[in-house]
Amino acid sequence: MDTSVNLLPKGPGDGCEWLEVTPGERFTIRTSVSETGGLYTMIEVTAESRNGVPVHTHANEEEHFIVLEGSVHLINGSQSLALSVGDSATVKRGTPHAWCNLSDSTARMLIIFSPGHMEEAFRLIGSLNGGDMAAIAESAKSGGSTIVGPPPFDNIYSVMSPRPRP
């Protein structure tokens, strides 16, 4: 029996495959759906200041957030939550939600999708490397997600309004 502990490296440059959603928002798959028999997928996300996602829903998955560094603001239905290191929150399937990093430092979090079939949609979105909004929305939709509105905070970089490339 393997009793080793798999510690999470600290971000881009750690030897893992990191994909970019938009400039300033990156992710890597820490636990693949193939490793869990479909039960869940765990991704790690890093988000620079003012990066976030538009309001969206997932038809088939619960989404669980665990903040590892920095802070994240999460809209979960009618709730607005400020999450800091060690905090977690769960979004039930079908609930409109969005997150963003309103702080001046980078945020890092684990996101667990259960069941884990969102992984392929994330890989598709990451392969677009900040591509056009229609392609990103189509990739999200293929994974059971629907974008239902812009980010809920002003001046947020997202797939709808990406940060300019340096």
Of 17, 39, 37, residue with least CA distance to 28: 17
pLDDT of residue 12: 52
142 membership: H or E segment, kind and range: helix 133-142
Give me the number of domains the chain comprises.
Answer: 1
Q: In the chain, helix, strand, coil percent, each to 5?
A: 10, 40, 45
Q: Residues in the chain, how many?
A: 166
User: According to the model, what pLDDT value does residue 105 have?
Assistant: 97
For residue 136, tell me if it sits in a domain.
yes
- CA-CA distance, 166 to 157, in Å (whole number)? 14
Strand partners, 48: none
81 falls within a domain: yes
Does residue 154 sit within a domain?
Answer: no
Q: Which amino acid makes up residue 5?
A: V
Task: Per-residue pLDDT tens, the chain, 166 aa: give them.
Answer: 444 344 454 555 555 889 888 889 999 999 999 999 999 999 999 999 999 999 999 999 999 999 999 999 999 999 999 999 999 999 999 999 999 999 999 999 999 999 988 887 777 776 666 556 676 666 666 667 888 999 999 999 988 888 887 7
43 inside domain: yes
> Measuring CA to CA, how many Å separate 5 from each of 2, 8, 37, 45, 156?
9, 10, 20, 20, 36
**Looking at the domain assignment, is residue 93 inside a domain?**
yes
**Residue 161 falls inside a structural domain:** no
pLDDT at residue 72, rounded to an integer: 98
Tokens representing 79 are 């709730």
The reported pLDDT for the residue numbered 8 is 52
Q: Return the CATH number at 143.
A: 2.60.120.10
Domain residues for the domain of 65 are: 19-149
Report yes or no on 74 lying in a domain: yes
Domain-located, residue 7: no
What CA–CA distances, in Å, run from 101 to 16, 82, 117, 146? 23, 10, 25, 21
